[in-house]
């Protein structure tokens, strides 16, 4: 059992949730399925905690999303190989600073 961050009830349970994110380039939306979540029956909300949200954001910025497509599971995302920024640079990729 977990304590719900919204209503404070200590009856929240583990769940899975499908979540959409705007991919790091800001153009497309990706669907991450089976994300570990918290389900509160009291306030009827299913949510992911802030720490997991940050981990997913980091993963989305460090894996090659072209290889995953627009729909993939949380496990596929977390197990995908990370991009090597030095390999990207040596391949001639260009990066712009805002």
Q: State which residues form the domain around 73.
A: 18-33+50-90
Q: Does some domain include residue 6?
A: no
DSSP H or E run through 18: strand 13-22
At 4 the three-state DSSP class reads: coil
CB 93 within 8 A of CB 55: no
- Which pTM was predicted? 0.80
How many structural domains compose the chain? Answer: 1
Instruction: Give residues with Cβ within 8 angstroms of 55, minimum separation 6.
Output: 78
Q: Does some domain include residue 68?
A: yes
Res 21: pLDDT: 92
Q: Does some domain include residue 1?
A: no
What is the Cα–Cα distance from 90 to 73, expressed in whole angstroms?
30
Res 74: pLDDT: 98
Res 65: pLDDT: 86
Digit-by-digit pLDDT tens for the chain (98 residues) are: 889 999 999 989 999 999 999 987 778 899 999 999 999 999 999 999 999 999 999 999 889 888 899 999 999 999 999 887 665 555 555 555 54
């Amino acid at each position: 059992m977990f304590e719900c961050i919204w209503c404070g009830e200590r009856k929240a349970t583990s769940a899975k949730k499908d979540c959409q994110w705007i991919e790091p380039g800001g153009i497309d939306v990706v669907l991450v399925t089976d994300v570990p979540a918290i389900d509160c029956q009291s306030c009827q909300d299913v949510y992911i905690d802030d720490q997991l949200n940050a981990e997913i954001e980091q993963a989305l910025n460090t894996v090659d999303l072209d290889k995953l497509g627009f729909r993939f599971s949380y496990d596929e995302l977390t197990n995908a190989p990370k991009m090597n920024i030095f390999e990207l640079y040596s391949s001639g990729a260009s990066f712009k600073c805002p």
